Chain A
Amino acid sequence: MEEWFAHIAPWLTGNEIFTPATLARYWDGLVNTVQLVFISLIIGLGMAVPLAILRGSPRAWVRAPVWLYTYVFRGTPLLIQLYLAYYGFAFVPGVQETWLWFFIEEPFYPALFAFTLNTAAYTTEIFHGAIRATPRGQIEAARAYGMSTALAYRRIVLPSAFRRALPAYGNEVIFMLHASAIASTVTIMDLTGTAYYVYARFYTPFPAFIFVALVYMALTFMILAAFRLLEKRLLRHLQTAA
């Protein structure tokens, strides 16, 4: 980092807003945003796979709670979920004396909690749709080979469902990156929070927000490119011969 700053410092002389100190703040914001989004996406993905299988269960009492969970989390704004997680834990009487306070005190963990539950709900629905789109014949063929339901899921249904879900999941990743901007409302210094700080400190909305918009755009295009690459590799069997 030090070297990098030394390198661009001459280029920045005479610029009052984008000083090395401000850029370091933006860098910290980037780290916070990426951490928050990445960790919640990973945990959410892990939750979504079993939930998607339960969501398609033939038993109503298994299916219904998962449906209710995804319906509520997809039907209400993430901001409400974030406020509930942030204030909901902090205002429980006596919580400050327990070991939980370690997690609640830091706004990062309540935000992570809300984001994870939110992305898990959306991802569950994406996987559920992909699992449901499995061609009947494939399941019948697996049965004919004598595979148990678990084995058929593991070897046939899930691998092909993951591939089908890939484009929609790419959209969800971008959606999460953009949605994470609201973390700044609970005092997390993410990219947007930093931009707001710079705006408030220098009263310069255009440089502060346009710069951060460009950073988000670069991240968005990187995610898009990564998913396009993945799709190219994993969905090769769906491409028409050139």
Chain B
Amino acid sequence: MIDFHGYGPRLLAGAWLTTELALLSLLVAVVLGLLAASARLSRLRSVAALSATYTTLIRGVPDLVLLMLLFYGGQIGVNMITDRLYNAFDIDIFINIDAFIAGVATLGVIYGAYMAETFRGAFMAVDEGQMEAARAYGMSPWLVFSRIRFPLMMRHALPGLGNNWLVMLKSTALVSIIGLTDMVRVAEKATKATHEPFLFMLPVAVGYLLMTAVSELAMLWLRRRYDTGFK
């Protein structure tokens, strides 16, 4: 058995944190991506422009810079707002930004922009006649979206979505820089303490490869599911 100098359980805890962080960020990113893609295709010019600005700005800046901006700036920004509230209305609240929530929010906001581009293309690829038929059946807008538009769109979005997910999964490693103890941070600390980089970094790399392999299986299943009725 490999001797992790007692870092084994912490590495596992770090791997669990990475998994949680990635899955929750994916949820935020997909929801934001759907909203932004719908906004981009809106007939209202201002709404479409707002969405275009969001996706362009986010995709022009490194995720680490955005992560640092939102993480270090977020607390100061929140403090400024609570100070104003205290001075103006005598409302005394203190909000401490949790590193995990900040990480999920930031990764979600960043990858929401990439998801938006994927979903936009996919929405445009759906045959308009399908939605007309659904409306002719008297379906409400929500029903049209959930039963017709979304499932048909997902078929086109899946390859891009899978790609974004894999990039995001690897980007979760960045949260180790802003202080979250994911598996990369545990490995880095252990490396500094024991001077054995390969002993800790290689298992973490294998961990990411495992997660990638599992994701590929999940994607295969999803693709088969959304291909129902085609081919």
Residues of A within 8 A of B (CB): 71-72, 75-80, 83-84, 87-88, 91, 177-182, 184-185, 192, 195-196, 199, 205-206, 209-210, 212-213, 216-217, 220-221
Is B60 a contact partner of A221 (Cβ separation < 8 A)?
A: yes
State the Cβ distance, B113 to closest chain A Cβ, in Å.
Answer: 13
The smallest C-beta distance from A213 to any residue of chain B, in angstroms, reads 4
Which segment, of B30-38, B66-74, B129-137, B138-146, faces chain A? B66-74
A selection of 5 A-B contacts at a CB cut-off of 8 Å is A76-B208, A91-B191, A195-B68, A206-B73, A209-B69
Separation of A181 and B173 alpha carbons in the complex (Å) = 13
Q: Are B68 and A199 in contact (CB under 8 A)?
A: yes
Q: Which 6 A-B pairs have the closest CB atoms?
A: A77-B173, A87-B197, A205-B73, A209-B69, A178-B62, A181-B62
Cβ–Cβ < 8 Å partners of B195 in chain A: 87, 91
- Assess whether B174 is interfacial by the CB under 8 Å rule: yes
Instruction: Give Cα A84 to B184, complex, Å.
Output: 11
Q: Does B212 touch A at the CB level, under 8 Å?
A: yes
11 new A-B contacts at CB < 8 Å, known A83-B201, A209-B73? A75-B166, A77-B170, A77-B184, A83-B197, A84-B198, A84-B205, A88-B201, A180-B62, A181-B62, A199-B68, A205-B69
Residues of B close to A185: CB separation below 8 A = 177
Q: Is the interface of A mostly helix, strand, loop or mixed?
A: helix
Tell me which residues across on chain B come within 8 A of A78, comparing CB atoms.
Answer: 170
Q: Interface size class for chain B?
A: 35 or more
Contact at B62–A179, with CB atoms within 8 Å? Answer: yes
Q: How far is the CA of A220 from the CA of B61 in the complex (A)?
A: 8
Query: Which of B61, B76, B170 gathers most chain A CB within 10 Å?
Result: B61
CA distance A192 to B69 in the complex (A): 11
Please give me the residue from chain A that is nearest to B73 by CB atom. A205
| B209:A76 contact, CB within 8 angstroms | yes
Set of chain A residues within 8 Å of B77, measured between Cβ atoms: 206
